[in-house]
Chain A
Amino acid sequence: MFCSRKKSLEVERIVKANDREYNEKFLYKDNRIHTSKYSILTFLPINLFEQFQRVANAYFLFLLILQLIPEISSLTWFTTIVPLVLVVTMTAVKDATDDYFRHKSDNQVNNRQSEVLIDSNQDQSSAPYMKVLKKLQNEKWMNVKVGDIIKLENNQFVAADLLLLSSSEPHGLCYIETAELDGETNLKVRHALSVTSELGADISRLAKFDGIVVCEAPNNKLDKFTGVLSWNGSKHSLNNEKIILRGCVLRNTSWCFGMVIFAGPDTKLMQNSGKTKFKRTSIDRLMNTLVLWIFGFLICLGTILAIGNSIWENQVGDQFRTFLFSNEREKNSVFSGFLTFWSYIIILNTVVPISLYVSVEVIRLGHSYFINWDRKMYYSRKATPAEARTTTLNEELGQIEYVFSDKTGTLTQNIMTFKKCSINGRIYGEVCDDWGQKTDMTKKKETMGFSVSPQADRTFQFFDHHLMESIELGDPKVHEFLRLLALCHTVMSEENSAGELIYQVQSPDEGALVTAAKNLGFIFKSRTPETITIEELGTLVTYQLLAFLDFNNFRKRMSVIVRNPEGQIKLYSKGADTILFERLHPSNEDLLTLTSDHLSEFAGEGLRTLAIAYRDLDDKYFREWHKMLEDANTTTDERDERIAGLYEEIERDLMLLGATAVEDKLQDGVIETVTSLSLANIKIWVLTGDKQETAINIGYACNMLTDDMNDVFIIAGNTATEVREELRKAKENLFGRNRSFSNGHVVFEKKQSLELDSVVEETVTGDYALIINGHSLAYALESDVKNDLLELACMCKTVVCCRVTPLQKAQVVELVKKYRNAVTLAIGDGANDVSMIKSAHIGVGISGQEGLQAVLASDYSFAQFRYLQRLLLVHGRWSYVRMCKFLCYFFYKNFAFTLVHFWFGFFCGFSAQTVYDQWFITLFNIVYTSLPVLAMGIFDQDVSDQNSMDYPQLYKPGQLNLLFNKSEFFICMAHGVYTSLALFFIPYGAFHNMAGEDGRHTADYQSFAVTTATSLVIVVSVQIALDTSYWTVINHVFIWGSIATYFSILFTMHSNDIFGIFPNQFPFVGNARHSLTQKCIWLVILLTTVASVMPVVAFRFLKVDLFPTLSDQIRQWQKAQKKARPLRTRKPQTRRSSSRRSGYAFAHQEGYGELITSGKNMRAKNPPPMSGLEKTLYNSTSWIENLCKKTTDTVSSFSQDKTVKL
C-alpha cells in the first residue's frame, strides 16, 4: 500500500543497469504480478468485511441485532442466523476457491524462467572493486528486478519492458511479434543503439554495462517511449524503437539482451490491462431494484400493521391487556405500534430471502460447469474445452444484442492460402465437377504437387491440373506469373537442419504467394541484397535485384526491377487492382476486362486479390532512371516526394499478367455462426486493427457484407469536419432513400424519431453497412457527432471498424453500452482486444492460442469462434430462461410464505405473532423448498439444444427481456399474494369452529400452524412441479424428496423424544401426529392446494393455447415427433458469384524493401552493401556458382553455402 502510494507520484524513472542496490532506493516494483485478492491471513477479515458491505448481508445482520431486543424480538435468533451463516460461508468458500485459482495462475506466470545476468556469488556484490562475477542464470520471472539484464531467446515471451541492448542480428536488430499487445501479426523491428549493440553476447562486457536510463514514469502508451541513456559519459536518446515490451514474442532472432526498465505491474502491458471491473448482469441490477422495492413494500406492510396495532391497542388491547397483565401500567399505544413495526420487519423479512443471492450464485455456477463440460464446445485439435471464467454472468449470455468481434485470430485463422488465380485471362483454381458446375474446392480432389519441386509443401492445397498442364506446356505468361510471385516479395528464406526451406514472412499474404509459386515449381531459394535466387522448374536462376520499389499504403503496390541471366531488365509489380489497372499499357484492354471480371468474382467470394503485372525495361532507360533515383536518394529536401515521383514514372505501361486470390482463411463455421446469430437478431460489429481492405474482404467472406446490400457507407475522413460531413451524407442517404422508396417497400416504424439528435432505435428496412476507419472514428467519437455515428451504426446491419486502436475498441463498446442500453459481448483473441473484452458486458476470449491476455481478461473462453453460437443460443438462452423461471418462482414462493403472517396480523391483535413454527420459518427456504427450485434453475430445458440452434429466433425474448422484468415481477407478486390469501383464509374458515374426530381436537394455534405450513409446502411443491418443464431424475428426487423431508422433519420435531431433550425449543410435541391424522385437516390442505393452483393452471393453459410463443410451439412439436430427428435441412450458404468492388487487400508494412536492399536484416559476413549495377560481376559469379551447384543438386550443400544463405 505504502509502496503504491509512493509510486503514483513517480514522475520519472531512473534505472542503473546491473546495480540492484542503486535501483532499490527507488522502491520500483519487481516483476511479480498479483491478481489475487487475499492471502491466508487476510482472507477472513477482508472477505467478511466485503460480504457485509453487501446490502442484503448487512440487512440480515441488522435484523439479527434487532432480534436481540426482547421487546421487539418476534422470532428466535436462530431463524436468522442459520441462513445467514450458511450464506456467508458459501460465499466465502466460493471466493476462496476463486482466489486460489488466481494465485495459481499468478504463480504460473511468476515462475516462468528467464535468463538473467546476476551475480554468481552473493558475497561478491559487497566488494565492487573485485572482479564482478556475473553469470547468466535461470531466474524466475518474479525475481527479475528493474535494471537487470536479461537474455531472451527466439520465440520466448518477453518478461518485462526491456531496453534492447544487443542481439544476434546485425546492427542490433531484432524482430518481435506484438500480437499480444496490439493484435498485429506482422513482425516489427526493434534496433538497439549502436553503442550498446557492440556489446554483443559478451557476458563480461554486458556485466560491466552500467548505463543509467532516465525515462518516463510507467504509463499505458504502447507506442510511445521517451528516455535518455547515459553511458560512458555520453547521452543517447531512447525512443519506442529501442524498447521491447512485456507480452511480445521474440521472432527470427536467436537471442537478444535487454535491460529491464519497467517490471511487473509497471509494464505497459499490465498498465494497459487496468483494473478488472466487477461485472454485473442486468438481471442482477433488476434484482437489486426489486429487492429495494420489496424493502419498500416491507416497510409499507410494517407500517400498516403498526398502525393497526396502535388502533387495536387503543380500542381492544387496552382492556384486554389490563385483563391479562393487570399489574402493568398503562402503555402508550403509539409506542407499542412502533415496536410492532420492528417486530413485523423481522417476521416479514423472508420476503427478501437471504437465500436468493446464494441460490442465484449456485445456479450460475451450475451453468458455468455445463459450459465447461460441453463437448460440443471442446476443440480437440488444441485440446481446449470451453471455459466459463466468470461464473456470475451466464444468464446475460441469453440477452446479447451486440457482438463486437475482432478479426484476426477470431473470425480468421490468420492463415493465408493461395486459392485461385487468373493468368492471362484464364481462371485457375476453380474445380469443375462432372456436371460442369463450379464448386468450391473440396478435399476429395487430390492435392496438386509438382513432381519437379522437391520442396513442394505437402499441405499445399491447390487443385487445378489445368494450371499444371499450362506450366508443363511452358506457357510463357504462366511462367512469368509464377516467376513474379517468386521474385517480387520481401520474404527471407532459411533452411532448417532437415534441409527444408523455411520462409520468414513479414506478411502472411506474401507467404501464401511465395509458397504457391514454390509448389508450382518456381521456388524462391535465397536472396542477397543484390540478388534473388529462384529455382525455375528445377533450374536454379539468379536474378540481379536492381531496385526495390517498396510497398506503402498510398502506393498500394510493390515492384522489383531485376535483371535476368539473359540480361533483360524487367519490372515486376503486384498491387491493388484499382491502382495497377490505371498504369497498364493500352494494349491490355481486352485482358483487363477479362481480368477485372475475374477479380470481381474473387472479390465476391471474399478473397484477397492482388493484380500482377510486369514491364520490360530498356537498359538505357533504366540506367537513366536509376541515376535519377540515386540523386533523389542523396538529396535531403523533398526526398520522399521525388522518389515517389520516380516510382510513379517507371511503374507505367505495365503488361497485365493476371491476378491472385488469397483466402484469408476463416475459422470453421464462421459463416454459419454469423448467419445464425443475425437471425437471432444479434448485431455483429467487426472491430479490427487491420486495414480497411482486409476488413471489408472478411466482411464479404463471412457474409456480413453482401452485394445485395442497399448501400455500404464508408467513413474515412481525416478531419473532424470531413467525418461529420460524411456521416451526415450517409444519414441523409439512408433516410432519403427510405423516404423515396416509401411506396411500401421501405417504411419507418417510428416516424417521430426522425430528429437527428435522438438515439431511439428506428427500423429501416433494407440492408446497410457502415465501414469506418480508426482516424475517422477518433473524430466520430467526439461528443457532437457521437450520436450521429451511433444512430447510423445501429441502423446498419453490419458495422466494420478498421484500423482501430485497442482503446477505440473499448470506446465503441462503451458507446453502444451507454447509449443503447443493450447487452454487449466482445470477442477477441489478442491483447489488443483486452480493453474491449473488459468493457463489454461479456468478454469472450479465444483460447488455445499462444497468448493468454485476452483469455485472462475474458469471462468466457473457447477455441473457435463458431462456439459462440452454442454459447449464446444454447447455454445463454437456457441460462436466461432458467434464471427467469427461478426468480419468478422464488419471489412467488416467498410472498406466498410470508404474507400469511400479514393476514394473520389482523386476527392476533397485530401482535407480530408468527403463523408458523419458528423451526419451519428457519428451514422453509433453506431445506424444504430450496432444492427443487435449484434443480429447475440448473437443469430445466424448455426446448432441446438442437432446436435452440435451429431456431435462432428463440433467442429474441431474452434480448427484449420478456421473461423476467418488472411487470413479470408484479405478476409473481400477485400470484404470491393470492396464494397467501388462500393459505390463510381457507384454514381460517375451517378452523373457526373446528373440532376433531374425537371431539378433542380443537382449533388451537399449533394445529393451525401445522396445517398452514403443510399446505404451503404442498402448494409450493405443486407449483414448482408445474414450472418444471424438464423432469430429470434429479428433479424427481428433489421435489419428492423435499416433501418427504418436510414430513420427516415435522414428525421428528414433534416427537416425544426431542421434546424430552429440549422442552422449551420444541413445544409442538405430538402436534403432527394429532393434526395430520384428522381427515378434516387433510380436506383443508387439499382444498387450499387446489384453490391456489387451479387459477394458475387455467391461466397458463389459456396462454399456451391461445397465444403460444415460439418456444411453446417447438415444445409441442418436439413432443409430437420425438422420433423424427431431422427438422429441416439448412440451406447451404449460397455465395454470390460476382462483386463490383475491389478485393484488394495486402497485409504489408512499409520499410521492408529498404531493409532488404540495405542488407541490414541479412546475416553478418555479407559484403558491405553496394549498388547493384556496379557489382554485376560479383553477382554473376554467384549466379554461376549456383548454377554449378544446381547440376550436383544437393540441397544440403546448398544450405551450407554461407554466401548464398547470407
Chain B
Amino acid sequence: MAMNYNAKDEVDGGPPCPPGGTAKTRRPDNTAFKQQRLPAWQPILTAGTVLPTFFIIGLIFIPIGIGIFVTSNNIREIEGNVFMYYGLSNFYQNHRRYVKSRDDGQLNGDPSALLNPSKECEPYRRNEDKPIAPCGAIANSMFNDTLELFQVGNASDLMPITLKKKGIAWWTDKNVKFRNPPGTDPLEERFKGTTKPVNWVKPVYMLDSDEDNNGFINEDFIVWMRTAALPTFRKLYRLIERKNDLHPTLPAGRYYLNITYNYPVHSFDGRKRMILSTISWMGGKNPFLGIAYITIGSISFLLGVVLLVINHKYRNSSNTADITI
C-alpha cells in the first residue's frame, strides 16, 4: 500500500476494528473497582461533628474521672477483702538482663530443661556442676522476707491475723505456665539432680508444706516471677479474707507487723514497703487515673468551647458552594 493519507480517515467512520479482534480483552472492565468508583463514605471534619464530639467527651470523661477519684480515695476503709502487698522501690525488675534470665520451659516442668536450663539463665544456670532449679537471676533474687500481721488486743496481746497464701497468683500462671516436673514421686525426687538457687536458703521443693503450693507452683514464687513493669512496684503478698459477719475485716485499732528480715535492699538503695488495701470496682487505689480523666475531659470541653468561639467568629462563610479559585 502506498502512503495513502486518507487511509487513516477511513477508520473514523467504521466500527472499532482492532487488530486480532482483541477489543473485548483490551478494553478495561467497567467495574466500580477498576474505575475507582466504589461507593464510599466521605467523612469531613465539620463543626457539626467535631464540636459535639468534644463536648460529649468532656461530659463523659469528667464524671468518670470524678467517679474514679472518689472511689479511689474511699478505698481507705478497710472493709471487704483486704490485700496485703509488699512494695520494693529502685528495684529494676524490668532490666533486660534480669527479665530474660529465666527458663520458662524449666518452670513449665520440662524435664530436659530442668536438668539443662537455658543459657539465658547465666550466671545462675549451674552451681557446683548441678543445674539450678529454678534457674536465673529472677528466681535467685526472690523476695524472702516473712511478714506477719497481728492485731494488738485490749490487753496488748497479739492476735495473729490469718493471712491466706493461696489465691494470690493468676490462674493461668498457677495452672498453665508453672508446673512442677512430672511424676508421682515426692517433689524432692522429681527435683533430683538439681540444686537450689545460690541466694536461697531452702530448695524449691521446700517452699511450702502444702503439696499444692510447693515447688514451681508456689504462689509466692509465681508472683515474684511475674516481673514488674517499673522499678517501683508492689506485689501481692497475702489475702486477708473477710469474715462472714458485718465486722470490718480489719477493724480500727492497733496492729503489729512482724518482719523476718532476709532480703537486703540497702546495697542498691532500695526501699521496702508493706501496703494493706481493699479493692473497688476499678481495682486498687489509683488517684492518677481519676485525675487524668478529669483533666482530659476538661481539656476536651474547653477545646470544644474555644473551637465553637473560633468557628463563629473567624470563619469565612465558605460553607456554601462559592468556591474561590
Contact = CB atoms under 8 A, between A and B. Distances in A.
A913 B95 contact: yes
Interface stretch (B97-105, B202-210, B247-255): B97-105
Nearest to B21: A383
A1090 B171 contact: no
B73 interface: no
Interface in A172-186: 177
A103 B172 CA distance: 59
B43 A494 contact: no
Interface string B99-126: 1000111001010000000110001100
Interface stretch (B11-19, B155-163, B184-192): B11-19
Interface string B217-254: 00000010011111111111001000000000000000
B71 to A, nearest CB: 11
Nearest to A914: B96
B22 interface: yes
Given A459-B13, A508-B5, A1001-B283, A953 B28 contact: no
B39 interface: yes
Interface in B275-305: 277, 279, 281-286, 288-289, 292-293, 296, 299-300, 303
Contacts of B57: 1090, 1094
Nearest to B297: A1090
B27 A375 contact: yes
A993 B310 contact: no
Given A512-B5, A1008-B229, A1029-B43, A74 B172 contact: no
Interface in B39-67: 39-47, 50, 53-54, 57, 61, 64
Contacts of A138: none
B38 A1033 contact: yes
A485 to B, nearest CB: 15
Contact of B267 (A319, A995, A1006): A319
A818 to B, nearest CB: 33
B43 to A, nearest CB: 7
Nearest to A1084: B289
Interface string A928-972: 000000000001010001000001010000000000000000000
B81 A999 contact: yes
B16 to A, nearest CB: 5
B128 interface: no
A459 B229 contact: no
Contact of A1108 (B47, B93, B318): B318
A953 B325 CA distance: 7
Interface in A366-399: 369-370, 372-375, 378, 380-385
A311 to B, nearest CB: 14
Contact of A909 (B18, B171, B231, B236): B231
Nearest to A988: B230
B323 A1110 contact: yes
A945 B320 CA distance: 21
A913 B94 contact: yes
A316 B90 contact: yes
B3 A504 contact: yes
A455 to B, nearest CB: 12
Contacts of B307: 1098, 1101-1102, 1105
B165 interface: no
B144 interface: no
B118 A251 contact: no
A126 B274 CA distance: 106
A912 B98 CA distance: 11
A370 B34 contact: yes
Contact of A1116 (B46, B108, B325): B46
Contacts of A1074: 170, 172
B11 A1119 contact: no
A1005 interface: yes
A177 B318 contact: no
Max chain A C-beta neighbours (<10 A), residue from B27, B232, B281: B27
B10 interface: yes
B96 A911 contact: yes
A504 B3 CA distance: 6
Contact of A1104 (B8, B22, B45): B45
Nearest to B65: A1087
A668 to B, nearest CB: 11
B289 A382 contact: no
B230 A907 contact: yes
Contacts of B239: 999
Contacts of B26: 378, 383-385
Contacts of A1105: 47, 307, 310-311, 315
B3 A177 contact: yes
A991 B282 CA distance: 13
Interface in A139-171: 154-155
Contact of B118 (A1064, A1115, A1120): A1064
A782 B91 CA distance: 74
B232 A1073 contact: no
Contact of B229 (A515, A995, A1007): A1007
B37 to A, nearest CB: 9
B95 A1101 contact: no
Given A992-B232, A1005-B99, A1029-B43, A1070 B176 contact: yes
A1165 B101 CA distance: 104
A428 interface: no
Max chain A C-beta neighbours (<10 A), residue from B2, B30, B57: B2
B46 to A, nearest CB: 7
A911 B41 contact: no
A939 B38 contact: yes
Contacts of B50: 1097-1098, 1101
Given A187-B3, A1031-B42, A912 B35 contact: no
Given A1002-B234, A1116-B44, A1080 B28 contact: no
B314 interface: yes
Given A1110-B325, A1116-B46, A1032 B39 contact: yes
B226 A1006 contact: yes
B258 interface: no
Contact of B93 (A986, A1005, A1118): A1005
Nearest to B284: A995
Interface stretch (A237-245, A323-331, A716-724, A888-896): A323-331
Interface string A986-1015: 101111111111111111111111000000
Contact of A325 (B68, B123, B232, B311): B123
A1004 B141 CA distance: 16
Contacts of A505: 3, 5
A1091 B292 CA distance: 10
Nearest to A990: B289
Contacts of B277: 995, 999
A1069 interface: yes
Interface of B: 1-6, 8-13, 16, 18-19, 22-23, 26-30, 34-36, 38-47, 50, 53-54, 57, 61, 64, 68, 81, 83, 85, 90-99, 103-105, 108, 110, 118-119, 123-124, 137, 140-141, 167-173, 176-177, 198, 223, 226-236, 239, 264, 267-269, 277, 279, 281-286, 288-289, 292-293, 296, 299-300, 303, 307, 310-311, 314-316, 318-321, 323-325
25 contacts: A155-B1, A320-B95, A343-B96, A375-B28, A511-B5, A907-B94, A908-B231, A909-B92, A939-B40, A951-B323, A951-B325, A990-B288, A995-B279, A997-B283, A1005-B99, A1006-B226, A1032-B40, A1056-B176, A1064-B118, A1067-B104, A1084-B289, A1090-B61, A1101-B307, A1105-B47, A1105-B310
Given A155-B1, A1003-B228, A1097-B54, 14 more contacts: A317-B92, A324-B140, A375-B30, A459-B13, A941-B36, A991-B229, A993-B284, A999-B279, A1004-B229, A1059-B176, A1080-B283, A1091-B296, A1116-B46, A1117-B323
- 8 shortest interchain CB distances as A-B pairs: A1070-B172, A995-B284, A383-B18, A1008-B229, A373-B34, A911-B96, A999-B83, A913-B96
